[in-house]
Structure 1
């Protein structure tokens, strides 16, 4: 284990966190929240100073392998969560540090589940920081570090692979550093475009910025009790578009920017993603219209599409309380929440690419029973999926199911109803946020015990990092030299 490199990267991360705390400091100054401004400034100075001092000594050995890459990623996210919770406590927004860490992890992992029972009255700077955690965690802060920290290209790929979602993580250009820069430029560009669109739709500038953080990061934190349901239908439609766009593999946008539409639209995952989205929205729209939830067919489709896109991309915004919809609609949403968005996006869940591989591999196994001598391969995007990838997807599915079952058993100790217990675990492990029952679109996680909150925090981190990094740091052998 290369401890010197782990130390160096974590201290560089502290420096980045110090810079990030300056943004809510500026917001606090603008809105004359001087006590909060002092708090954010002190935090920024402390993190920056510790980071600078700790990273002065550069490691002689900069080589890191998969073990170090996964360990650094997991520890870095835990460190960010512990530091990011401090503003909530010292400003008095969330007095309990455990609850503050829960809120921060929910933000950074773009889960969007909250322990806050009301959002009205929270200072602008704190709300800004809360939604900004979505934007930080959406693309991943370590991907940002890759763009600025000198590191051997072959080894930095281990960091990107550990933090980026999906069964296969590749470079869109020869160098990992350049790949990271391109991804963040696309990410930043989409954010700016959404801010402009929301502002032009009549949304206040502050709301446009914070809601864009939550949308592009596919997180779901709102800034008032009305949530996005309080905005105009036009604003909601814009949010639908950008939620859907950010649930797509960002490689697609690179292809489009480089005038390679054939490569962009040849990706199987994207086809299934949008096809499933509109089919599910149509089915739910018919169901809630016939059930009398809404008496307008157009609005029925609008709200059903919003719910489908929000759940599929694991954003978690809600315009209506879908917990009151017919069981058919709720069941479709629950299934979609498990699948999630595309690999290489800011969305969570199992990912469409994994689901496609699992289904096609299952189909091949059935065919093999009928035709034992036939050679069947799993194909995606016109190419053969490597056997190691199929194997890793199967292993991931097994670990995912075991984590889900174990977490559900522990959370069940709180003795809440079945749908609250099960969907709270599903919503955190898949980084969705809202579930059903007490944790529905209009509910929250405040009533859970400390033990359950710790389990759900573990699930949020494990879900965002796709299980392996979190489980790897739990093995004693990982830390042996």
Structure 2
């Protein structure tokens, strides 16, 4: 294990978090929240000092897969531990475990909250909550890669470990250019959504914070009513952009390169839009008796489907009161999630497609044992390693889900609450059902359960394995290469 390069990257994470904390500080100055602003400055200074301690030496060694996985996991943990301090120091969230839960929920773009009164937060606090969504959506290490040059593609393993989906590739030959392109598209879409919301006369602060929540597919709102009090136009803009941010960014790369036909040939993207269309149609007619007309039913069905499948977690209505069919469909979407390579969470549409095709392959092989079948996607055969990784991912996913569920049941809440609490945190959604529904929160869970759910949020955002690597003893040992003996013929 190369501890030097791990500490070096962690140092840069601290530097960037110090810079990020200056934004809520500026917001505190605008709204004259000076005491709250002081907390952000104090933590920014602490982050800078830690960063200085970690980066005083420049490592020469290359970063391999093991170091990449561990670095990503530790970066997100450190980012969250330090990011929670302003909430705690300012007294806005007086219990540190609660502050940590809120911050991890922000950075992992989950949107689950322990707050019972969101509007009691300062403007700086609300901005920081939403900004953590925006940073976590694309990934803080991708942001660092876009700015800090790396030699010889040494940090490609960081991008692979942090990016959501079965596989990650570079758009352009240089890794830094890939990261810059990603954030260029991300920032461009963010600005466009803010403009559309401002055209709809949404207040600037609300437009910026809600857009950051939409872009990161996070779901922290700035009102106790969520998105319910905004106009139909404003809700419609958020619906469209939630769905767009749930699309694989490879697609937007091809669109920018003026290759729209190639962009939408992706089987994953077409499946993603088909799932949305079918779900909206079924839920619309299922909830129609609850609304005055077809348009209202369609509007709220589309918003909630877009919010859940992209793992954003915004809500215009308490879907906990909807008919069982609608709630069941939404819970299925919780597990499916958005496209790989997007800012969304969940298992990912591509994995679901591969899994379904793998089942079909096994059935055909049972019927025709001597025939040769391969799982194909976008007309090309999928490598066995990719199929195997999907199966392993799903197995680990189920084990983590069961383990987490067993632990939080010690709080003696009902099964639906416990099940959906684990589901929405592991899939980075936000609201579940019953106690943790859109009108509820996670404040009633014990500290132990909150920490378990925090680990679920981190594991879900980082695709499970970076977090699991931290608990493997052999990862932390530093093996020395032995002598190689050459066999000589007598």
Q: Quickly name the TM-score band, shorter chain normalised.
A: over 0.9
Determine the C-alpha separation between the residues in 1 that align with 2:362 and 2:152: 38
Match of 2:143 in 1: 144
Aligned pairs for 1:308-327 (under 5 A) are 308-327=305-324
Determine the C-alpha separation between the residues in 1 that align with 2:152 and 2:136: 23
Structure 1 residue 273: deviation in Å? 0.5
2:403 alignment partner, one of 377, 399, 406: 406
Determine the C-alpha separation between the residues in 2 that align with 1:86 and 1:166: 31
Match of 1:272 in 2: 271
Match of 2:481 in 1: none
Superposed CA deviations along residues 218-273 of structure 1, whole A, max 9, x for unmatched, are 00000111211110000000000110000000111110011111220110000010
Determine the C-alpha separation between the residues in 2 that align with 1:386 and 1:267: 17
Aligned pairs for 1:75-94 (under 5 A) are 75-94=74-93
1:332 alignment partner, one of 329, 332, 340: 329
Specify the SS of the correspondent of 2:228: helix
2:295 alignment partner, one of 293, 298, 301: 298
Specify the SS of the correspondent of 2:42: helix
Is 1:431 matched up with 2:434? Answer: no
Specify the SS of the correspondent of 1:166: coil
Determine the C-alpha separation between the residues in 2 that align with 1:50 and 1:367: 57
Contact 1:153/1:177, CA 8 A, preserved across alignment: no
Superposed CA deviations along residues 351-375 of structure 1, whole A, max 9, x for unmatched, are 0000000000110000001111111
Superposed CA deviations along residues 185-244 of structure 1, whole A, max 9, x for unmatched, are 111111111111111101100000000010000000001112111100000000001100
Structure 1 residue 158: deviation in Å? 0.6
Determine the C-alpha separation between the residues in 2 that align with 1:148 and 1:219: 24
Number of corresponding residues: 478
Structure 1 residue 175: deviation in Å? 1.5
Determine the C-alpha separation between the residues in 2 that align with 1:154 and 1:32: 45
Match of 1:27 in 2: 27
Determine the C-alpha separation between the residues in 2 that align with 1:416 and 1:195: 40
Specify the SS of the correspondent of 1:229: coil
Specify the SS of the correspondent of 1:461: helix
Specify the SS of the correspondent of 1:353: helix
Superposed CA deviations along residues 431-453 of structure 1, whole A, max 9, x for unmatched, are 00100000001110000011111
Structure 1 residue 480: deviation in Å? 0.5
Structure 1 residue 67: deviation in Å? 0.3
Match of 1:222 in 2: 221
TM-score (norm 1): 0.98
Specify the SS of the correspondent of 2:345: coil
2:364 alignment partner, one of 364, 367, 389: 367
Structure 1 residue 312: deviation in Å? 0.1
Match of 1:128 in 2: 127
Structure 1 residue 42: deviation in Å? 2.1
1:393 alignment partner, one of 390, 395, 407: 390
Provide the aligned C-alpha RMSD in A: 0.9
Match of 2:486 in 1: none
Structure 1 residue 53: deviation in Å? 4.4
Structure 1 residue 151: deviation in Å? 2.2
Structure 1 residue 276: deviation in Å? 0.8
2:456 alignment partner, one of 447, 459, 463: 459
Determine the C-alpha separation between the residues in 2 that align with 1:398 and 1:50: 38
Determine the C-alpha separation between the residues in 2 that align with 1:170 and 1:99: 37
Match of 2:208 in 1: 209
TM-score (norm 2): 0.96
Determine the C-alpha separation between the residues in 1 that align with 2:196 and 2:86: 30
**Structure 2 unaligned spans of 5+:** 479-490
Structure 1 residue 60: deviation in Å? 2.7
Match of 2:51 in 1: 51
Superposed CA deviations along residues 129-178 of structure 1, whole A, max 9, x for unmatched, are 01111001000000111122332344311100100000011111112111
Match of 1:416 in 2: 413
Superposed CA deviations along residues 62-102 of structure 1, whole A, max 9, x for unmatched, are x0110000000000000001001001011111000000000
Match of 2:3 in 1: 3
Determine the C-alpha separation between the residues in 1 that align with 2:168 and 2:68: 14
Match of 1:281 in 2: 280
Structure 1 residue 381: deviation in Å? 1.3
Match of 1:197 in 2: 196
Determine the C-alpha separation between the residues in 1 that align with 2:390 and 2:373: 17
Is 1:186 matched up with 2:185? Answer: yes
Determine the C-alpha separation between the residues in 2 that align with 1:210 and 1:43: 22
Determine the C-alpha separation between the residues in 2 that align with 1:34 and 1:99: 23
Moved over 6 A (4+): none
Determine the C-alpha separation between the residues in 2 that align with 1:166 and 1:413: 33
Is 1:115 matched up with 2:114? Answer: yes
